[in-house]
Amino acid sequence: MQRKGIFRDTNSLYLTWNEYASTKFIEFARKYAGKMVLDVGCSIGAYSYKLNALGFDCVGVDYNSEYVEKAIGKGVEAYKMDAYNLDFKDNRFDSVIMFEILEHLEDPLLALKEAKRVAKKNIILTVPNFDKFHELSTLKLTYSDVLEDDHRNFFTKNEIKVLFNNISENNIIMVNPAMVQITGYTLDELTKMKASDLFSVLSYKVKASSRASKLQNRIETMKQPYDSRIIREDGDERIIQIVDSLLPNASAEQYLLIHTVVRDVTKERQASENIRAYATRVIDVEERERQHIARELHDETVQSLASLGMDIDLLLKNERQLSRKAIECLVELRERTNDLLKGVRYMCRSLRPLVLEELGLCKALQWLASEVRDQSSIDVQFEVLGSSRVLSPEKDLTLFRISQEAINNVMRHAQATMVRVKLEFGLEHVKLVICDNGQGFELPEPNTDFANSQRMGLMGMRERARLLGGSLVVLSRLGEGTTVTLELAT
């Protein structure tokens, strides 16, 4: 078979081609179409004529004026217009038929949306069966060999499915009494609504995008629930938790229905927000108190210890008047005073890390590692991965405080000899990893239940991370050390 024998230019084909209307297409339309039918791309009116003869009230439209004239000559009510601009009122027809049309259009989605606008009941269409084209190989032909001159595209089943999803208004088909209580609408009102009538604009766009993605990628269930917002009948906005499942049609590999489980979590989320706000306030007050204590220690304790040290030095200058025993006591007292002064100054810097404010996070963590090496026998090493950049003061403080708390835990409990602090800058995140070679500990079950296990330091670290939308993971085993990982979006 040669390509020339089956090639057609349908722009003028039907002016000379014998009139033909597929019996299968007619039976298809008889089965599903309503009384009032619009035949989009009616050509010379063959299908419209047949449907009218069967008792339907069928109107035809086509962009080819010569076709329209022939259709009118057959007694068909026909008009010249294209599929993108149907000059009819909304819901004017029960059904729209689009036989052998989509493959000829540059924008089939736009044409489907326009057809949906004028159709009350349904759209009935045909497309080339791409799944059968492999049979052309027996004739040594490809799909391009049977393309008509004005073909623009062809479709797989999945592509048709995505087209349908994009024109779907997500009509609500069935609800239970609990949904009535959540929304304030009656059962009858809900089953006449669209999902877009219930959801806030932003929530609906997110939900529609999620559903379109699941349809396209054949994801049957979203295992993790997600939050959205709906507008009640009285105008009140409620926060709901949603789990969607796609329900397949038993007779075809297409997902036509979406089963949604909804739970009103408004009070829970408000309580969580109140707790979050309270925790934020507590941390803010804590930081202010740290600064206040640091100032008091610096202005009072440090100065008093420094003065005491100077007084001891003055006494030691008169060592000729002192006994050997008194001199030894004063020297020991001076050393203890110096140690106290050094410790209090370290405490002041820890309570109020000016290096963080003045030099930034990386320098502050380098300083922290150096101070811990000087204060203990632990080898603390710090490294930066990626290109460091300036973060918000809140993120800088959170990363520093969690590093500080984790290292203090190592010093107090781990009996470790080594700590590694790694700060990694990614494109959209920053990750902090602190690991030690200490004795480790048994994590509570679940491993986020730090309060009941009396690990208040870890709980504070987790709360700091959560307040900034971050995640904190603690891994530990007896005898194998501990790793704390914090990740924050930037």
Kindly state the tokens that stand for 65: 């004026």
Summarize the confidence of residues 245-256 as an average pLDDT: 52
User: Is it the case that residue 158 has pLDDT exceeding 70?
Assistant: no
Kindly state the tokens that stand for 342: 């050094």
Determine which of 12-21, 54-63, 206-215, 225-234 has the lowest per-residue pLDDT on average: 206-215
Instruction: Give phi and psi for 245, each to the nearest 5.
Output: -135, 140
**pLDDT, tens digit, for every residue of 394-445?**
899 899 989 999 998 999 888 999 999 999 999 889 999 999 999 998 887 6
Nearest Cα residue to 182 out of 83, 259, 262:
262
The whole-number pLDDT of residue 150 equals 56
**Distance between CA atoms of residues 104 and 237, nearest Å:** 45
Determine which of 100-109, 124-133, 200-209, 394-403 has the lowest per-residue pLDDT on average: 200-209
User: Could you tell me if 136 and 147 are in contact, meaning their C-beta atoms sit under 8 angstroms apart?
Assistant: no
**pLDDT, tens digit, for every residue of 434-466?**
999 999 988 876 555 555 555 677 888 888 888
User: Is it the case that residue 4 has pLDDT exceeding 50?
Assistant: no
Omega within 30 of 0 (cis) for the link into 446: yes
User: Is it the case that residue 388 has pLDDT exceeding 70?
Assistant: yes
The whole-number pLDDT of residue 316 equals 86
Nearest Cα residue to 309 out of 342, 345, 344, 333:
333
The whole-number pLDDT of residue 346 equals 80
User: Is it the case that residue 13 has pLDDT exceeding 50?
Assistant: yes
**Distance between CA atoms of residues 36 and 315, nearest Å:** 113
The percentage of the chain sitting over the pLDDT mark of 90, rounded to a whole number, equals 25
| Long-range Cβ contact pairs of 309-317 (< 8 A, separation 24 or more) | 309/334, 309/337, 309/338, 309/341, 312/337
3-state secondary structure 151-215: CCCCCCHHHHHHHHHHHCCCECCCCCHHHHHHHCCCHHHHCCCEHHHHECHHHHHHHHHHHHHHH
Kindly state the tokens that stand for 216: 């396209």
Q: What is the DSSP letter of 254?
A: -
Classify residue 469 as left (phi > 0), alpha (psi -120 to 50) or beta.
left
Nearest Cα residue to 96 out of 42, 52, 33, 45:
33
Q: What is the pTM of this model?
A: 0.48
User: Could you tell me if 46 and 60 are in contact, meaning their C-beta atoms sit under 8 angstroms apart?
Assistant: no
Question: Which H or E element spans position 294?
Answer: helix 266-296
Summarize the confidence of residues 157-184 as an average pLDDT: 73
**Distance between CA atoms of residues 399 and 363, nearest Å:** 13
Most confident region among 51-65, 210-224, 468-482 by mean pLDDT: 51-65
Summarize the confidence of residues 264-288 as an average pLDDT: 82
**Distance between CA atoms of residues 464 and 456, nearest Å:** 12
